[in-house]
Structure 1
């Protein structure tokens, strides 16, 4: 089966980094592609998993994966291609550290006419369950699937997707963005640079985050 276009395009972008990134960087800044992470949100989160799993053959290798509220489809019988979720714990053959960040309101409907944006069985819980250690799971409890976007999104479609399609939190979106950003940086510093202070601090005291974190789990490699 041919990979979906977004998976193929993501692989091409990754390969572009090998030659295209360095000329665009400031003087005396050198890209280190030996520590390369792949990440995405929503369907892009699943795309990141697909790229990391090798569905798009790339010249570069990835050292870490971060899924931000990844979604595999609208229901278990309607997973988007390729079908990577098997319903089996530890079935994803990822030889790298993985962090999966979910939204507490993602599985809830915004209204009676639209399905949840991150339905149970297709969301961060399933992705995390099927990961192998080392892997981490965090849930930003009071926010929804689209709350990591900008406060204002351009165009009518942008506003509808951002404000109406998904169940949103009532707090400032800035708190969601800062929380996700902090989690990603702390996780990558720990896994790629062996700087564990911030990551361990968050695991030990989730109240350090700008907004509420629930169900934090970190499973180290054995």
Structure 2
């Protein structure tokens, strides 16, 4: 799995420019969207957090920052197959600015039969505690593991296996605020923007996020000043 991912991401970054400038490129983006392959930010959701971290265990490549969205380690939520890459308090071998996005309902099972989509012992804080670099973790309360998907998927697919928001829900608003968090992180790191970084650290009073959503923030610099360094990745 990790070897296939490594080949895929290396090919993608090498050929990204021509994907946006070929006869098959959709008109809506051709000559309007220009990919940048410097200061690349790698992002993974749920179990793909295991895959992207496995890749970074071997090499940074062109990756300079990392976003883990509801990351889950191990092999399956039932815990039958134990295949872990994080073993806190042991630290991972790479140092990279990282944003972890999680939700309040990640560790809550949908029912007594199906385990939670992101059990506490396998997810989120497990990754946070294993990362030796500068890191931020935002907990979007009142929402669940798959609530960022489109409304049809949330209603007819996600809600059958994961705990989802059920009352006073605004999924469009939630999705928008997830995008804002990622943007603040990436722009804050690459442009060394103090206001954007502070927006991650005090989200509810920053003015960047919707007042209808409550976000809990945890962060730790671990001795690295991203406002001076910008994005980076290296092996310790």
Q: What band does the TM-score fall into relative to the shorter chain?
A: 0.7 to 0.9
**Hey, what does 1:95 align to over in structure 2?**
95
Q: Any conservation in 2 of the 1:22–1:31 contact (CA below 8 Å)?
A: yes
1:18 alignment partner in structure 2: 13
Extract unaligned runs of 5+ from structure 2: 21-29, 224-236
| Alignment CA distance shift 1:221-1:199 (3 Å) | same
Whether 1:65 aligns to 2:66 is yes
In structure 2, the CA distance between the partners of 1:78 and 1:175, relative to structure 1 (3 Å rule), is: farther
Q: Work out whether residues 187 and 193 of structure 2, in 8 Å CA contact, stay in contact via their aligned partners in 1.
A: yes
5+ residue gaps, structure 1, are: none
Alignment match, 1:192: 190
Scaled by the length of structure 2, the TM-score of the pair is 0.78
Q: Which residue of 2 aligns with 1:176?
A: 174
Task: Give the distance between the partners of 1:219 and 1:79, measured in 2 at CA.
Answer: 32
- Which residue, 5, 8, 13 being the options, matches 2:3? 8
Q: Give 1:178 shift.
A: 1.4
For residues 41-190 of structure 1, the aligned pairs below 5 Å read 41-54=45-58, 60-73=61-74, 74=76, 78=80, 81=83, 83-88=84-89, 91-153=91-153, 159-160=156-157, 162-170=158-166, 171-190=169-188
Q: 1:19 and 1:133, CA in 2 relative to 1: closer, same or farther beyond 3 A? A: closer
Question: The residue matched to 1:153 in structure 2 has which SS?
Answer: helix
In structure 2, the residue matched to 1:213 is 215
Report the TM-score when normalising by structure 1.
Answer: 0.83
RMSD (Å), alpha carbons: 2.4
Number of aligned residues = 207
Give the superposition deviation at 1:30: 4.8
Determine the C-alpha separation between the residues in 2 that align with 1:103 and 1:80: 24
Contact 1:35 1:63 survives alignment (8 Å): yes
* Runs of 4 or more consecutive aligned structure 1 residues displaced over 4 Å after TM superposition: 74-80
CA contact (8 A) 1:76 1:121 kept: no
| 1:192 to partner: Cα distance | 2.0
How many angstroms apart in 2 are the aligned matches of 1:165 and 1:17?
32
Cα distance, 1:115 vs structure 2: 0.6
Between the aligned partners of 2:16 and 2:161, the Cα distance in structure 1 is 35
Moved more, 100-109 or 186-195: 186-195
